[in-house]
Amino acid sequence: MIIPRTEEIKSLLVLLKRNPVVAILGPRQCGKTTLSHQLAGQWPSSATFFDMENPQDIGRLGDPLLALEDCKGLVIIDEIQRLPALFPVLRVLADRSSKAKYLILGSASRDLIRQSSESLAGRISYFELGGFSLGLVGHAKAERLWIRGMFPRSFLAPSESASYQWRQDFIATFLERDIPQLGINIPARSLRRFWTMLAHYHGQVFNASEIGKSLEVSDHTAQRYLDLLSGTFMIRQMRPWFYNTKKRLIKRPKLYFRDSGLLHALLSLESKKDVLSHPKLGASWEGFALEQAITSLRLKEEEVFFWGVHASAEIDMLFTRKGGLYGIEVKYAQAPSLTPSMRSALKELSLKHLWIIYPGKESYPLAHNVTAIPLGAFSGIH
């Protein structure tokens, strides 16, 4: 079953009009290749595909300038981070001719952005893809998306057990094959222990010293592992919001699994029943709701923050729009109410509006600029 990704295709077509090169960035198996084929089906002229995991395609690009210079229409290059020598070639081709547009797909954000920005500055746009979203699958399937996660094969699996097994296999493949292919030499067992420990820190402030001590590694190593998982779209590091104040602000990032299904797999939660009875239930739904809100608002990672004061108030997420500061608080409760922490944030930060996302069905105001809103309804706010 293939779900058409109409909105993503529209966004990509706009970006391809603006720049000769567009990069789709996202984790492996999130649907980048499928999306590129859907886009090619709507492209007005021919499309040429190269997959850098296919030995035959790698051979075709033995002399990349010779292989690509006569291509016209849309040229799609999958898993481009495996052949970084292509970036300077794409710069030459982008400057030389307007007969082709280049769509490149990559699973390693930091490496890919660094390599491409050096060679393709001013010629490239980035589009981040994060698997299925609530807006794509429909509000009626929100619980299934939360339990199974965003990866298409996990979400569409014929049963909960099949979905869980797919995620376990994904984790093993990611650690044992994908990480080494990026040229990173970290024992799979060590990174899995770290990743599993992060599952227990989901929704909490990162403490490199505490985690490093538990794993018997240095603070530097713990931070390196975290940056690796962030750079491959597994973990979101939400940065704190800074401003002039005498209050003791929290300065370390909060950690969230980008995919709730992988969080559940690393916590050995196979079914909905397992998730609903686990102590991380609230934190799991919080991370899922925040990720859906970020997707709906089309926010980039550097545009998302949290606010926290030591031993005092906190707001789950902040973002700016048209010069105003807005807040989102997530509550896994049937009837959320205005708390002292929220009142403090509204006053201290001069928020234009605060939304409290909860798993209910009705929206209702809690103050003139505070609204309790179901997750499904929030996905329509832009």
Q: The domain 6-128 belongs to what CATH superfamily?
A: P-loop containing nucleotide triphosphate hydrolases (3.40.50.300)
- Whole-prediction pTM value? 0.91
β-pairing verdict for 314-321 and 324-330: antiparallel
- 159: which residues sit within 8 A by CB, 6+ positions away? none
Q: What are phi and psi of 196, to 5 degrees?
A: -65, -40
| DSSP state for residue 141 in the 8-state scheme | G
Q: Phi-psi category of 185—alpha, beta or left, where left has phi over 0 and alpha has psi -120 to 50?
A: beta
- 195: which residues sit within 8 A by CB, 6+ positions away? 171, 175, 229, 234, 266
Q: If you search the block for the tokens 């993503």, which residue do you land on? A: 8
Domain boundaries, the chain: 6-128, 134-378
CA torsion sign for 354, 258, 78, 65 is positive
For 299-330, the three-class secondary structure string (H helix, E strand, C coil) is CCHHHCEEEEECCCCEEEEEEEECCEEEEEEE
Q: What are phi and psi of 304, to 5 degrees?
A: -115, 130
pLDDT, residue 80, reads 87
**Residue 143 to residue 359: CA distance in whole angstroms:** 10
Paired with 127 in beta bridges are: 24
Q: How far is CA 21 from the centre of its chain?
A: 21
- 172: which residues sit within 8 A by CB, 6+ positions away? none
**Residue 339 to residue 320: CA distance in whole angstroms:** 22
- Judge contact between 289 and 260, C-beta under 8 A: no
Q: What are phi and psi of 130, to 5 degrees?
A: -120, 35
H-state helical runs in the chain: 6-18, 32-42, 55-60, 64-68, 86-96, 109-120, 134-137, 142-148, 152-155, 160-173, 179-181, 188-200, 208-215, 219-231, 260-266, 272-276, 281-297, 340-349, 375-378
Q: Which of 116, 148, 118 is nearest to 132 (CA)?
A: 148
Q: Which of 373, 369, 349 is nearest to 361 (CA)?
A: 373
Cα dihedral 309, 314, 319, 323 in deg (nearest 10): -60
| 382 residues of the chain, pLDDT tens digit each | 678 888 899 999 999 999 999 999 999 899 999 999 999 998 988 899 999 989 999 999 989 999 998 899 999 999 888 888 888 899 999 988 778 999 999 887 756 567 676 788 888 999 999 899 998 998 899 999 999 999 999 999 999 999 999 999 999 999 998 888 777 888 899 999 999 999 999 999 999 899 988 888 899 999 999 999 998 999 999 999 987 666 767 789 999 999 999 999 999 999 999 999 999 999 999 999 999 999 999 898 889 999 988 766 789 999 998 889 999 999 999 889 999 989 988 988 999 999 999 999 899 999 989 999 999 887 655 5
pLDDT, residue 310, reads 72
Q: Which of 226, 31, 35, 39 is nearest to 130 (CA)?
A: 31
Q: What are phi and psi of 360, to 5 degrees?
A: -95, -160
